[in-house]
Structure 1
Amino acid sequence: MLILLPPSESKTGRTRGRPLDLERLSLPGLTAARAALLGPVAEVSGRPAAADLLGVSPNLTEEIARNTRLTTAPSVPTADLYTGVLYDALDLASLDATARRRANRRVLVISALFGALRLTDRVPPYRLSMAVNVPGVGPLAGHWRQPLAQELPAVVGRGLVIDCRSSTYAAAWVPQGDLARRWVQIRVPGATHMAKHTRGLVTRALCQSQQDPRTPSGLAEVLAEAFRVELHQPASATKPWVLDVHTPKS
């Protein structure tokens, strides 16, 4: 299985460590698209109107400034980089060694700056949304659509795509063909803030599970051990299965 997560706006930095090395990141088919963004993102982040162009609050000056140091700032393992509600619920640090190895294999974070990252990849803190239109590059979802479409199907193999992304990040890659029939969107009905928390718990449960379901119904059975779930068939051949996940069982 491949579990797709969104990034978080909040990120952890470090004061020491080696800088970004694109050649050491996983998914080497994305290297060119990653390299093409570093300069334009740094340039726009140094402009007086950077906050408007990046769609963030003008008060976030230090977070914006991080984008100007992408090639020199200490890099951080992706597992430690992202914070916030989803990642607090996932709580990677508390997983045992076996579950952590599964997480390293099964989890992929979709990133506006790096396309997709394994938990073991090391990158610097940055502030960039997939919704941004970067001058000289264009809309980021469009920038990543072809590279991700070429790279990710081989990563999925014969397994499921378990989609915990927000709609903004889902726009960067839509599974096609046979893969679309193994695409399951995790939905949390009636929730907003708690949706992120529940998706974090779902991801944690799947990393702790020894099972590797190959069908949407098999996934529903695995998660039904810890959650109330309802599986819905795709609305069309190009749409995902939808798995509604409710409050964890007590």
Structure 2
Amino acid sequence: MITLVGTPLGYGVRVLVILPPSETKSDGGSGAPLDFGRLVLPELNEVRSRIADALVDLSGDLDAAQRALGLGRAQLAEVDRNADLFESPTRPAIERYTGVLYDALDHGSLTRAGKAKAADRLMIGSALFGVVRATDQIPAYRLSGGSRLPGFGTLAATWKPVLSPALDGLDDFVVDLRSGAYLTLGPVRGAVTATVVTEAPDGSRKVVSHFNKHYKGLIARELVRTRATVRDIGKLAAVLTNAGQRVEITSPTEITVITH
């Protein structure tokens, strides 16, 4: 059942889904080293370059890197990834990020048509790159949205003045699945967000944490598989409902996915 509260908003050219990144990333790759000139939204490259240079410089001081990146002793290999940022091989972003959300999306199992739609419809937020396309070639790295790099303020203060205008300039119906620190890096005006709640037998609800990522991965999967044209929140809810999810439209820019 779809419950409508308010009115549908947005009539973009296509649906564009912005995924959150993940702390875990796959190793290796067969692509050439990082080339900012081949990433989406070249207007972000000046900030990308400044953050990347700071990240490489930081890797020369292990203790400072551990503090800035919030790493435990068992995670210090992440500093080596950052040190090799400009030399290490790259792979498509959709293959670089791993974890619960990306397991649910299951990009590898998509048909050829599904992968083509994923290339067209998916972007991924990033504390280092701002945002990348699913097919952008990136290296493994470690930088979280809440990290504090020497010589910088918050990453949100660094990114928001350039990232929000760049994303607002896209002529798309945006479904923004980022949350927390990554959403504050560059909010998108008018984007639809998703909240995942669990409903108890007595009807009470609470926001889920860990499985939030799983259900957002399923949302993204349905939006790259669908043949429907999704240009407003009503059609978005209909696609998810037809896929077996229980969805409510709780505001003109928010859907709620209800689980048990």
State TM-score, norm by structure 1: 0.89
Once the two structures are superposed, the pairs formed by residues 60-209 of structure 1 within 5 Å of their partners are 60-155=75-170, 157=171, 159-176=172-189, 180=190, 183-190=191-198, 191-209=208-226
Q: Deviation of residue 129 (structure 1)? A: 0.4
Q: Deviation of residue 175 (structure 1)? A: 2.4
Identify which of 238, 242, 246 aligns with 1:221: 238
Secondary structure of the 2:228 match is coil
Hey, what's the Cα distance between the residues in 1 that align with 2:212 and 2:29?
33
- 2:22 pairs with 1:4: no
* 1:13–1:76 CA contact under 8 A, matched in 2: no
1:242 paired residue number: 254
* 2:101–2:214 CA contact under 8 A, matched in 1: yes
Hey, what's the Cα distance between the residues in 1 that align with 2:220 and 2:113?
15
Q: Deviation of residue 194 (structure 1)? A: 1.1
1:20 paired residue number: 34
Q: Deviation of residue 174 (structure 1)? A: 1.8
Secondary structure of the 2:187 match is coil
Q: Which residue identity is paired with 2:183?
A: A
1:42 paired residue number: 56
Q: Deviation of residue 243 (structure 1)? A: 0.7
Q: Deviation of residue 213 (structure 1)? A: 1.9
Deviations 1:194-239 (A, max 9, x none): 11111101100110001122221221112111211011115xxxxx
* 2:91–2:138 CA contact under 8 A, matched in 1: yes
* 1:3–1:161 CA contact under 8 A, matched in 2: yes
If asked which structure has higher relative contact order (CA below 8 Å, sep 6+), I would say 2
Q: Deviation of residue 148 (structure 1)? A: 1.0
Secondary structure of the 2:74 match is coil
Structure 1 segments of 4+ aligned residues over 6 angstroms from their partners = none
Consecutive unaligned residues in structure 1, runs of 5 or more: 235-240
Aligned residues: 235
Identity of aligned residues (%): 38
1:212 paired residue number: 229
